[in-house]
Amino acid sequence: MRLARLTQRKEFLAAAEHGRRFRSSSFTVQVRDAAAEEGRDSLRLGLTASRKTGNAVKRNRIRRRLRAAAAKALAGQTDRACDVVVIARSEVLGTTFDRLVADLSVAIERAKPHKPQADRRRAATKRGAPPSPSVSSA
């Protein structure tokens, strides 16, 4: 299975700015739900491996490992409309493949948007301020 890819810089920046994050020892995942904004119904994957992770050979190897792990971890979620950006660290090369798949699965689960809940917080009052006057009917 081949995942759709993020290709433009603005898509990566949108995931960084508006997405939810999950950090593991090997990578950081940013997930941005894009169903409402763009009307898409598929998952897109973006991979980033900077020069800090190593030379070109190591960076390409990191991207190949992450692409294969993402294909396995995200196989059941391709119908979800979101953008997933994986920012690699050099530890990807020393981590087992099964661990990469497990971490990506956890990252996607934790980055899912929460169900809307009623606001349970009390009304914020300033410390020391008198309570607001209440209206009573007599």
Which CATH number belongs to the domain containing residue 67 in this structure?
3.30.230.10
Q: Please report whether residue 123 resides in a domain.
A: no
Residue in the block written with tokens 């099964």? 98
Whether 84 is in a domain gets the answer yes
Question: Would 131 be classed as within a structural domain?
Answer: no
Tokens 């009917």 locate to 137
> Is position 16 within any domain?
yes
Residue 119: inside a domain: no
- pLDDT at residue 27, rounded to an integer: 93
Q: Count CB-CB contacts under 10 A for residue 3.
A: 17
Confidence of residue 135 (pLDDT cuts 50, 70, 90): low
State the pLDDT at residue 132.
59
23 located within any domain: yes
- Count up the domains in the chain and report the number: 1
Q: Is residue 103 part of a domain?
A: yes
Domain contains 121? no
List phi, psi (to 5°) of 28.
-120, 135
Q: Which residue has the higher pLDDT, 69 or 120?
A: 69
| Cβ count near 89 (within 10 Å) | 18
Output the CA–CA distances (angstroms, integers) from residue 96 to 26, 47, 81, 107, in the order listed. Answer: 10, 18, 29, 17
Structure token pair of residue 65: 């490992």
Q: pTM (2 decimals)?
A: 0.73
CA–CA–CA angle 8, 60, 107 (5° rounding)? 65
Mean pLDDT score across all residues of the chain: 80
Query: Domain range spanning residue 12?
Result: 4-110
